[in-house]
Each structure stands twice: as C-alpha cells, then as structure tokens.
Structure 1
Amino acid sequence: MDGFPSGEQILAGLSHALMVVDSQHVVSWVNPSGEALFGTSAKNLIGRQIDHVLHFSDPRLDAALTEQDISLTARGVMVSGDERRLGIVDFDIHPLASDSEWRVISLSPMPQDGPILESENSGPSNLAIRAPDILSHEIKNPLAAIRGAAQLLDRQLDESQKPLTQMITAEVERVVNLLNRMQTLSSNQPAQTKAVNIHTLIDRARRSIEAATGQVVKIKDKFDPSLPDALIDPDAMMQVLTNVLANAVDATKHLDNPEIRIVTRYSFGASLSAQGENEAIRLPIQIMVCDNGPGVPAELEREIFSPFVSTKKEGQGLGLALVKKLMRDMNGRIRYDRENQDEMSRFTLFLPVAPKS
C-alpha cells in the first residue's frame, strides 16, 4: 500500500516510551515519547548503559536491566532518570523474538495523585492493583477449612477457651471479606461505611497481631476518650490498622528497647473534596501509629504508598499500596513522616466523622 508508514514510524508515534538495548546493555534507540519522558534528546541517551539511564526504587527491577534473557512486567513502579524522578510507570522489558541479542523496554506513565498525603481535589485512585497480582481465589478454600475446624473445636471447649476459636472464626471471615473486596479492587465501588468506635478496632488489631505472632505487643497509647465515631468500613479499617501496626512491630522487633505508640485525637486541620461533591469532607479524626524503628529510607519516603515499593528484602511492596486504596475508598487519607522531637516513624490516618443519628 502506497504511503503506509514504516515500522519505525509506527513505533515513533506510540504514546508510551520505548527504548531498544543491545547485548552490552547499551541504549541503541529511543522514540520521541521516550525523549519527552526523560526530558532530553535521544542523542543524549543513545550510547549509554541502560542501568545508568534508568533507576527503580525496587532493586529487583534495577537488576533486570542487565539480565540479558529476562522478560519482566511490573505495574505502577517508581522510576528515576539521572537527576530527576520520572514518575510512576508500567514497566516491561523483554528480548526481541526475532533476535534475542536485542531487548525492548517500555515505560508507560501512570497518573499520579501524591503518595504521602493525597491532595484534597484528587479524583478516584488510579492505583492498578488487581486481585490476581496479590491473592488468588484459591485462598478461600483453606480459609473455609480453617473456619469449619474452628467451629467444630469451639463445641468441645469450655467457656474460658472459646474466645480463641471465636477470634479465629472472626479473622477468617474478615479475610474472606477482604478477598471479595480485592477482586473488585480496581473498581471504584463505594465502601460499606457506618459509624464505628475506632478504639475498639485498634484493640482488635492489636489482639489479632498478638495471636499471629504469639507474643504480647507492648504499646503506649494516648487515646482521646471523647472522640466521636468515625464513618468507616470496619473490615477495611481493620485491614489498615493491622497492616500499619504489624509494620511497626516488625520494625522494632530487633531493638533492645522497642517502642510503639498509638495516639488518637480530634483535629480540624485536614479535609478533602470527594468526587462529585462540591463541599469538602472534613477529616478531623486522627490515628497516629509511631515506632522507634529505623524508618523508611529517605529515597523511598515519597514512594512507600506506591505498589512494589518495599523496605523489606522479602516484601512485595503491596501492603501500604492496599492501605492507601482502602483509606481512599472510605474518604480517608494516610500520611507518613518522622517526628522531629525523637525521630520516631509516624503513620497518620485521617478519617471523617460519622453523622449524628
């Protein structure tokens, strides 16, 4: 067909960044979208080692850049160039089928909405976390067996021992509800919110972690007894609290003098504009979970709520990304920082107040 564009013209017209790397891991070609992403011309990128051009917050992705035969896809990862952050992208690297000496790298930028504390006017989450990336529906089968075993055991125990089996049953049901929720995690279905006493949930989360670890979790708490009920989804909030508190326990487990604090208070400071609403929603209920562990490395502080970013060697970097999603579903927000006074790591949860009935 006369006038039909060449293959290179088609590649050059794609909206996502493409790079071609040779067997020595040297950049050999960059399309115009790649130039736009890096903020420089292809001339300044071609001829350079790819691991000098791209830098990921996850070292596993950095290592993949110089693995000749690897094929890898990662969704929603933070990437940087030489001197600046390029943003959150979907990343793909694979050898050419026709010639494995060459590899193609694709970087597709994702919309960003502020990983530490989202802006008041941000829309629904664009976080691409799907249930198949995190959990399989097959998990429900062993969970059903665990619940059935706990119910049978409950019939044989005396009253003093039944709270343990009841906790098992309650936790299994909570996880099943979470699995159901995660199957539609990428959708924007509203959370099942109601008025809940957050102090009750905090105590449940602590007892859940104690049951899982087999040890008493020592916490210094400072609760505001006059705090009103929060308008939240109790199952989702239990997942948030359990995740954040478990992180604090894990961060302090090797310390000689571990310290974990939970503070609740009422503050008029935070608000957000929910999608489709003209009036801002106030978030005066605050839960602060603090610990004296090593904290988040400075280079990861702004990315810890992004998927696949983790400070743990064995971590997959999905826990806090899910926490962020669950908080947004409840019209809440989460922020990470370090206290100036004693340099404790601090996660602050911002929640709306339940309307008076």
Structure 2
Amino acid sequence: MASTRDWRLLIEEIRASQDDDSTLGRIVQAAASLAGAEHAMLALVDDDAGVLRLTHGVGPEWSGELVGMELDVESPDEGIVTLVAKTGRAHLAKDVTRERTYRRLFQSTLSEYALPLVDEHGRVRGVLNLESQRVGAFDEPAREAAKMLALLAIRVVERQDLVRREEALVQIGGALDTAVSEEELVEKVLSVAGSLLRMHSFSVFLRDPATDRLWLKGSVGGLQARVGQVSYACGEGLTGFVAESGRPLLLDRPQQHPRWRGLHLEMPPSEVASYLAVPVNSKGKCQGVLRAVRRRSSNPLLQVRFTEHELRVVQTIAEQLATALENLRSWARVVQAERMAAWGELSAKSSHMIGNRVFALRGEVNELRHLLREAELDREALAEVADGLQRNVERIDEILQDFRDFLTATTLTKQPTDVAALVRETIQEVVPRTEAIEIALAVEDGLPRAEVDPRKVRRALSELLENALNHMDRGRLEVEVGLEVQPSGRRAVRIAVGDTGPGVPEDLKKAIFEPFRSTRVKGMGLGLSIVKGIVEAHGGTVAEVGVPGRGARFVMTLPVASGQNGAQHGAS
C-alpha cells in the first residue's frame, strides 16, 4: 500500500512534468500502485460528443488500442464507470460477479472501485477506475489514496481548462491590434469562443449605424449559411431586447420569457434548453450582441444549462470585442502602433509575474515533500499545503485578471448607482477589521445617483483601498464621499481615499498612473493605470494630492448624469 516514499516520488514526478497529458498518465500509474490495483484507467468526458472516452490506463491486460474507446452513458448496457459518471458518486464493487451493473473489460477482474472527477462547478469531468484480481480489494486506506489521486487528476484537468481559457482571451486581446477589418475580428472571436466554450451554437450580431439593426456577422452552428441575411430591430425578440437594455440575459427555458419570439435561431425554437446573450457595449451604446444557445438533451453528460461562470467568460469576450471595435473604428494608425508596443510589454510583464508565481508553487511542493518525509503521513498537514497551492493558483488568476482589467478598463456598462452604498460595500469587502487600522468613513447626505459601471468603479476603489493598506502596517484609513460642482458647472461625486503611510513624492504623483509603476510585490504594476482608465472612461478625473511624508490621498470624481437631481435612496 502507499508509503511516504511512494507519495514523495509521485509529487516529484508531477512537479517535474511540463506535459499535463503525461501527468494524468502518471497519476493513473500511481493509482494502480498506491491503491493496490492490477488495472487502473482514466475516462474523461468529451463535452462535444457527450460520451466518456478512455484516455489513460495501465495493467497486464491494458492495451493502447483501448485509448479512445467510448463509453456511452445512454446505452442500457452502461457498466460501473458510466454509472459513476451519471450519478457523480463513487461505487465500490467488492465482488463484480454479484454486480448487476458490472460490464467486463478485463478477464481477471474480481473487484472494482470507481470514483468521479468533479470540478469546481459540480460537473463530472471524468472517472478514475481501479480493478483488482482479488475479491474484497480496496479497503479504506486504498480508497483514500484513490480519492487523493482523483483530486490531483481533476486539478490537472482544471488547469488545462484555465490555460485554454486564458490563451483564448489573450488571443482575442491580440486581435485588438492585429485585425484590420471587422470581418477578420468576428472570425477570430468565433474561432476562439467556439474552442473556449465548446459551443455548437454561437453567433455574433453587430449594429449597423445606417439601419440601426443588428445584423448577423458570423456564426458557429446552424446560422452559418445566413450570415449577412438575418437581422433584428433594436428591441425585437430576446436578442434585440439585450441590445435595447444593454444588459445580459441568461435563461433556462427562454420560451417563457415575454420577449421571446423564436426568431432566427440556430435550431428549432422548441429544442432550445438554455439561452445566453451579452451586449457588446462601447461608450454607453450597444454595438452588438454575442449569443449562444444550447439544445435539449437526455444525455446527462451534455451540459445543456449555461452557468454564471460561462456568462462571465462571454462578458469578458464582449468587452474585448467592444474594445477591438472601438479601435478599428476610431483609432489612428499611430495610436495603433503605440498600443502594439504596450501589448508587447504587457505580455512580457505578465509572463514574468506568472513565472514568479510558478516559483512560489514549487516552494509549496517542496514543503509537501518535507511533510512526506515524516514517519507518518499527516493528511491534515497535506490539506493545508494543498490550500497553499490553491492560493498560489489564485494569485496567478489575479495577475491574469489585472491583464484583462487593463485591456477592458474603458469598456463600460453604465447604470444608475448609489455610490455611497457601493463605497460602504467595497470597504467591507476589502478592508480587514483589525485594531492596527482605524477606518474613518464620511458620507455627505443627499448624494444623487451616478450613471456609472458599478463593477468597474468597485474595481477602481478596491485598488485604491488595497494600495493604502499596503503602505501602512498601522494607521488611519480615511474615505470621504461627497458632491462637488466643477468650474464648468458640472456636478460630480467625489471619492477620496487617504492613509497615514509615507505618501507619494512630488516627482512621482503623475508617473504612478503609468503602466508597470509599482512598489508592491503583488500584481503587475497595472493597478493605478487601471484606475485611471476606468475613471477617465466615465469622464472623470483621478489624482494623488497628499503631502509627502504625511500619507497619500487619492481623489477621483465621477460625473453625475444630467437630470440626476434626486438624492440616493436606500443608502445604509
């Protein structure tokens, strides 16, 4: 059974591997060894076909010819592996000759243990299967070892997803500088979105300023032959409604929505199970809609419902597309050249920062190796190290989020917003409650609502708060929210964030808003640059006005939309 040395060797091999496919193969080998099985197999879900497909295996009767073998979950002759995939629950067969669901693959098998690989969204992504020539094999220690290996396997699968997703988003960002026409841009978005989301029905509609209609510009699925022929009026059907409202829709059974018309779909209207549409907003106006639909299915492995995670991914794509469209339509070639240079620097910087995090991950693995040298395996300590590994993966995601935020800072989805409430909520989320930091919040009464993108403003304010906290171990954090009338007569909500840290030298007060300017270890040095982009996209201003040596003080203003004279309601 599993020894400390076995675990140590496994971790060392996984650490050294640069190939996820090889890593999965090594995990399957370890499953056979550490759980005492003669045969071990891994079957992964094919999202497109809705089947389980054998990808890795070991054992005396295993053959490479079995790789790619499909296990059909809709077949009445399902077997234990497909049963586990359908139910999402592990299954132990102590004696397969007494199992009604058992289907023989290896002649020598007498007992079997199969457990699902379940991702962070609760979806079954595969099955790890162990088979033994002994009746009653797979005792509690063996099953625990298999569970740990299944967790390792799903983390590798999720890492593959993360890499594929981020590569796709970077590719779309790259199209911002390389596409020379809208047609090329749409083609790129379709290619990347199709591979990223693995959708059979994904369409891009863009607004024609001359007719004020949304025209189909590209599609993956049943509408490909109708590109350039299909259009919606603004407000017509769900697609037109998304353009009219400027807000996304995620619906199961969309036929029940009052705006549903069943027009221009990639499949018969009655077969639509889930509907997702996101506006492509730029400068406060919808320039198009990204739409995806999924077909009804009785196959439990086919994901027929869109998730909030998928909605966020499509929103990111829409933001990238909006930025790219704006560039294609309005930027001068000289600005394009400067943007390409910034893109290169941004890519190099992100690569360096991710490399640093990979180094930190290796440190966590070294700690894990140290724990594995102990006489007895401490599972609780191993779990703590696993948490550390997860935190470092999250740090990588933060770096990539900075990357995305920098690219999409100027793409807004505005709505009337209670800024005072937003500030209070952000402070609660960002600022820890400790005796070391005194928090002083002052909010002027009767503030009008501001027409802003609340998600982007929250991002900008979070950056200023985190920046203050990173420059003082102890001290006072002051946040003020008020209304000011500017020399032009325009009213604006003013948000000031001050601290008692060292402050900002006079010669750096403007430079700190440039990309890659930071004295902090965390992030890419894009934080204040992102803040500047978000605030200026709203037509506001941001500046550092503190006294060096006495603390920093950042002040940003957000214009109040004309006609917003009433006080905010519901501010807590």
| Fold agreement, TM-score > 0.5 | no
* Structure with more helix by fraction: 2
Alignment TM-score, normalising by the size of structure 2: 0.28
Greater Rg over alpha carbons, structure: 2
Alignment TM-score, normalising by the size of structure 1: 0.43
